[in-house]
Amino acid sequence: MFTRNPQNRNLNKQILSLAIPNIISNLSVPMLSAVDTALMGRLENERYLGAIAIGGIIFGFVYWGFGFLRMGVTGLTAQTYGAKDSKESALILKRAVMVALLIGLLLIVVQPLIAALSFYLMNAGAEVEQLARSYFHIRIYAAPATLTLHVFHGWFLGMQNAKYPMFLTIVVNLLNLMLNFFFVKVLMMTSDGVALGTVIAQYLGLLCTIALFWKRYRQLWAGWGLKGVLHLPALKHFFGISRDIFIRTLSVLFCHAFFTSKAAALSDAALAINAILLQFIHILAYGIDGFAFVAESLVGRYKGAREMVNLKRSVRYLLWWVLFLSAGFSLVFGLLGPKLLYLFTDKTDLLIGARPYLIWIAIAPPINSIAYIWDGVFIGATASTPMRNSMLASTAVFLLAYFLLKGLGNHGLWLALTLFSIARGATLTFLAPKHIFSVSVPQKQRLK
């Protein structure tokens, strides 16, 4: 992997030039949540903190569910980039922007239904729910901008440009922080101020995105060209990929929700312990996702160019990189796990109770990293159907393992989650030769 061969050095350089901006972008995301929590946590009543927590969960589910707007666009765009088809690259962006705007407007229209279902499931106290409802009904107006930003993020990555998404993510989050601080500390608003700050920051971020696009890629735009945008085979292909990614995402959400609900059924202590330990998994995901995004970009590019040698080499190098990185995570989690727990709680009973389960956190990095990278590979190749089937099979493994192992208590729950990740990596590895490494007909020819 780390040789003096110029070709290998160039590939490593290319991987890192894409991965580092993605990792920086990812690390800026939890910063916003932390500052919002600190702002609300210092107000006179804790219900404001509860309001943004509930609102954050609702929007997290909504926007994660529409993650196909970024992932699908990255794979499709990267393939057209590899095929040197700039016209189709622009059409992909236009189609996805159109869909994002329509979905965003639809979310605004149906917000009473979303709110009714969400708050029925949340079952919060009356005062917290009232504040959370107000937060929700303000922040929902950011939906068109937020979803359109997802599209541009995916499109830039597909165009092998990781610097724009990094810059935009940092700018949007900094704008959000400043606006939230202004509304809360200067105008003396509460959770409503955080929601309003988010809405304004998203639209300012979208204006900044359009300006960057126009500066570098305006020669690709040439108007909407509705005949090309509304090309039915292309739209069908896009929605087919989106459907598969949506089902895959729902499966992930289901498994994590099931894991949390079963921990709560064991005891309040188990729920709190698992919530803390899952923070380690989230930290791992933020780091590895930087390389998963690289997989989407490079695999799509080489798939579109039908350069199978480079495609295989890039996948092999990416797997080496994440295994190397995950070994570091495992070492840190394994050696410093008991001390790292203090970052999340100072309660002695939770600190003691969490220690027996740190073994699952220590072995998780290499297992989870392989699954994360293969997800990026399949997204880049737009092999969404086998990825969806892999996730459904892995979900079945998770459920079967839970019911067979639930007698082991919380250890059984963590073992089931570990087997879920192993199944994801194993099934995608098995499916890769047929769906990733075989030479296929270029996308443009398929859609004619």
pLDDT digits (tens, 9 = 90+) for 173-207: 889 889 988 998 888 888 888 889 989 999 999 99
Which pLDDT belongs to residue 445?
42
Last residue of a domain, one of 230, 247, 263: 230
Per-residue model confidence as pLDDT tens digits over 298-329: 999 999 999 999 999 999 999 999 999 999 99
The kind and range of the H/E element at 285 are: helix 268-304
pLDDT tens readout for residues 63-86: 888 888 999 999 999 999 999 999
Q: Which residue has the higher pLDDT, 237 or 33?
A: 237
328 CB-near residues (< 8 Å, 6+ apart): none
178 CB contacts (<8 Å, ≥6 apart)?
none
Residues 362-377 have pLDDT tens digits of 999 999 999 999 999 9
286 shares its domain with 391: yes
Q: State both tokens at 276.
A: 């803390």
pLDDT recorded at residue 194 = 85
What ranges in 110-231 are assigned the alpha helix state H? 111-122, 126-139, 143-158, 163-181, 191-217, 226-229
Residue 276 has pLDDT above 50, yes or no: yes
Over residues 226-243, the mean pLDDT reads: 88
Per-residue model confidence (pLDDT) at position 35: 63
Instruction: Provide the pLDDT confidence category of residue 54 given band limits of 50, 70 and 90.
Output: confident
Q: Inform me whether the pLDDT recorded for 123 exceeds 70.
A: no
- In this prediction, residues 413-435 reach a mean pLDDT of 95
Mean pLDDT of the chain: 87
User: Is 50 exceeded by the pLDDT of residue 61?
Assistant: yes
Burial of 300 (0-12, 13-18, 19+ CB in 10 A): buried
pLDDT at 283: 82
Out of 230, 255, 279, a domain closes at 230
Which pLDDT does position 251 carry in this prediction? Answer: 92
Identify the band that residue 443 occupies on the pLDDT scale cut at 50, 70 and 90: very low
Are 222 and 243 in the same domain?
no
Instruction: Say whether pLDDT at 20 is over 70.
Output: yes
What's the rounded mean pLDDT across residues 238-267? 88
Q: Cα–Cα distance between 98 and 401 in angstroms, integer?
A: 42
| CB neighbourhood size of 112 (10 A) | 9
> What is the mean pLDDT of the segment spanning 392-416?
94
Asked if residue 322 lies in contact with residue 369, where contact means CB atoms within 8 angstroms, the answer is: yes
- 225 falls in which pLDDT band (50, 70, 90)? confident
pLDDT for res 41? 60
Residue 279 above 70 pLDDT?
Answer: yes
Is residue 10 pLDDT above 90, yes or no?
A: no
In this structure, are 154 and 273 located in the same domain? no
Rounded average pLDDT over 103-117 = 93
The Cα angle at residue 49 between residues 44 and 55, in degrees rounded to 5: 145
Asked whether residue 248 falls in the same domain as residue 226, the answer is no
Which structural domain range is residue 305 located in? 231-448
Q: Looking at residue 448, what is its pLDDT?
A: 43
Helices (H), 3-110: 6-41, 47-65, 68-82, 86-109
Instruction: Tell whether 208 and 170 lie within a shared domain.
Output: yes
Q: Is the pLDDT of residue 447 over 60?
A: no
Residues 222 and 235 in one domain: no
Q: Within 13 A of 2's CA, how many CA atoms are on the CB side? A: 4
My answer on whether 213 and 250 are in the same domain is: no
- Last residue within a domain, chosen from 177, 196, 230: 230
Q: Would you state the torsion angle of the CA atoms of residues 6, 9, 10, 12, taken in this order, to the nearest 10 degrees?
A: 160
Residues of the chain above pLDDT 70, percent: 90
Co-location of 215 and 253 in the same domain: no
For residue 27, pLDDT over 80 is answered with: no
Q: What angle do CA 225, 227, 228 make, to 5 degrees?
A: 75
- Residue 231 pLDDT grade (very low, low, confident, very high; cuts 50, 70, 90): confident
> Residue 187 has what DSSP assignment?
S
185 and 285 in one domain? no
Round to whole Å and give the CA distance between 314 and 8: 10
Task: Give the chain's domain count.
Answer: 2
> What pLDDT sits at residue 37?
60
At 29 the pLDDT is 66
Segment 8-19 shows an average pLDDT of 85
Same-domain pairing of 281 and 408: yes
Rounded-to-integer distance, Cα 298 and Cα 162, Å: 12
User: Do 283 and 222 share a structural domain?
Assistant: no
With 50 as the cut, is the pLDDT of residue 426 above it? yes
Q: Are residues 15 and 85 in the same domain?
A: yes
| Residue 36 pLDDT | 63
Q: In the predicted model, is pLDDT for residue 346 greater than 90?
A: no
Residue 2 has pLDDT above 70, yes or no: no
Per DSSP, the three-state class of 166 is helix
For range 28-36, the mean pLDDT: 62
Return the closest-CA partner of residue 326 out of 280, 276, 391.
280
The region of weakest confidence among 254-258, 331-335, 391-395 is 254-258
